[in-house]
Structure 1
Amino acid sequence: MLRLLTATIFLLAWCWSKTEAYNTTAMEVLTQKLLKDYDKNIIPSAEGKGIEVAITVTIINFDLNEKNHELSLDFWLKMVWNDPRMEWDVEENGGIEETHIDDTKLWRPDFTLYSTSDWKNAKLTGANTLTVVGHSGEIIYVPPLSVKVKCVMDVTLWPYDQHKCKIKFGSWVYDGNKMYLKSADPPILLEMEDVPREWKLGNHSFSINTKNYDCCTEPFMDVTIYLTLYRVAPTFCWTVIMPIAVLCLLTFVTFLLPPASGEKILVASLSLLANICFLDYATQTISHAPTHTPILIKLVCLQLVLLVLAVLLNAVVLNISRGPHTLALPSTLKLPLLRLSSVLGLAYYAHKVSRSDGADLEKSDRLELGEESKLCSVESRPRCNCDTEDNLWNWLLLGAVIDRLCLIIYLIIFVLSICIFSTVV
């Protein structure tokens, strides 16, 4: 019994190996027969008509280079067409329904990437992959490709910007009458890994276009794919938005300090340097966009101009507010200043100007007038480089009014700029 079982197993193994050898030999014979007298440089056609090539694009991965304005794209380009020279009878060839042939031995669509930034690798063939050839002559060719595409970035809404990149390719020599392009269903597939990335793929579209060139009367067809990419970077809220908000608030501080305080110029100067440092950081991050300027950069530049004006105005207000003054404040200005002070919230300064008592200055008053203020009596004023208290408070009121008016003007400009730039901020 054991001998019979062993003989049966041996017989089955021998028959299986013979079958495999027969199939392998039949495959070799079929391949040699198909490639005999086959010219891969001649486009296949049935009865002199052009061929149809169905196209499907499967996106695997992508990356956007902001400084070079370049999209790196990894995808599979599936092409399906029919070659009558590849037909065979299944029964006469050992029941073989399909075979695999090296792509370099067959005719392939000469697709070239038109929107490439690297013309050395613009050809979308030659990936050294096998093609699937069916007995009906249908050929399926799916080369894995990695290309670089020009994509001029619109950084207007940086750091919440989105960009529309175009991938355009087509035949380099065959017109639409010889090679007709059509999209498969679906034309675009996504096979990307679900991993955290800075850029996300939004809308995408696939279209086949026909165009006539001046050189030729025949129409040429191309495939155009649009990919909309948008940035996903939550850290930019803390590294970009928050610093800009703080820089804007620092400008408020320069107008809120007492008019005779020397720290006004110091705070404005430090804020000016901080804005310049932020502009340098933004330039290093997004480089120089050839067509667009980020709205946030415009906002920071506006703040930069306002800070320069603030430094100049603070110097003028500081000079007005601190003594000594060789001239008294004209009486024609005193009454309008008193009326404006009540509207601008400067009642403290108005009280000091209109008071009738001649009490000595308190410590807080001396700080308000500035440490370098020099006071003297009316009798000693001609003999020293000093100022009377009443006259100094009059000039201080003028400086405070100018300071408060500048604050209101700044607030108006700031609110208007926020409304204009609200799409980002």
Structure 2
Amino acid sequence: MAASKTQLIQAAIQGSIDAFEKASSELPKGTASQDIQDDAGSNALHVASHHGHTDLVEHLVDQCGFEVNSQVDAHGRNALAVAVAANQPATVKSLLTRGGSATSEGPHGPLIVSACTSGHPEVVSALLEGGADANTTSKDGMPAVFLTSAMAALKLKLPGRENEAQGGLDCLDRLLKAGATPNVSAPGGFTPLHVAAEAGSERMTSALIAAGADATAKNAEGQTPAAVAASWGHRAIAETLLRSSAGDNRSVDQLISEAADREAAQRQQKATSQIPAPEEPDDEKAELLKVEGNKAFVAGDFEEALTAYQASLRHKTDAAPVWSNAAAAALRLRKFEEAMRYARVARTLDPKFLKAWYREGQAAEGLKMWEDAAAAYFEAHLLQPNGGTGELDFAEMVKSAVKEGKKEFSEKKKAQEAAGLS
């Protein structure tokens, strides 16, 4: 890129009208400033919009002939889509008054949906004020109000993402105030209120109920939002939802009991369909062999321990602790694939078995399967979220696994580039 062209893009990064005009005047004869792009295919308007330099954006559109809608970057985004993605509400408002359409779409679908799922409430307000429909759906036909609820709920569960979740809740508030219909559903019959109940979010639950959400709606499994809240242990949310559920006279304790029975039945059905039958059924032998395995493990003879656990499982295959112990022994022997297989059987038999999730994460780390490790540690974090004194800090383990995964990806990419591969 020639010096004057580089300076023109640099002026857009800095937001300097004077620097832009100077660089523009030095362009080769016949070269239009609108046609100058950086290596990512962005022109000065895209760059200024990304950085929120509203004064320069207005100058480029009003005085220099830049087009708000027709000129797109390498990602297929016009200036408004760029400003929305970069969370630049003032620039979004300015572009909307200069021909930008609040109902337009970016490469990932309607801009209002992108802003909501990204948790950018001020941008959402700007788009709604500019004419965006609060009941807009995504490319896949999912209502914005459902996607916003689901994304906020996910971030509420993820360690260290609480502030981002609040942005999503603010977006939901704005959609509901703008007339978004709360009684929409996703495949499986889940409504936004079911999502709020599972997340245990008082704020989301209250906002949806105030907007007219149906607390008696049932998902494909016949669960109301109150039943979902109870099954996740969110007693206060369940009580709030029951008060809004006309005709449902069950108590929270009844809902919790029903949820426990349902979970046990589902777990048993899943386990019996996936777990092999014992070769020689004998509970007494299985118990004796488990005890032998435990003794060998404590003595540091992990090979003997693993052999004993495997023998125990020939006689009884539905004992989650034995599968988990076998995983622990395999980990000590650095037999990571075996350990992962055993740990996964254990947590299939008992999804609330903390050690099984932990050992699956350890096995995945040993295999450098970082996404699997992060997912397993995240499940453990949900079961033990505090990470207090004497407890494993699963939130930190999630972050560490994600970090290692990114590091490995970066190293592989550099190696490919060095080898001239794409």
Give the TM-score normalised by the residue count of structure 1: 0.21
Q: In proportion to residue count, which structure has more helix? A: 2
Give the TM-score normalised by the residue count of structure 2: 0.21
Q: In proportion to residue count, which structure has more strand? A: 1
Q: Which has the higher contact order (CA 8 A, sep 6+)?
A: 1
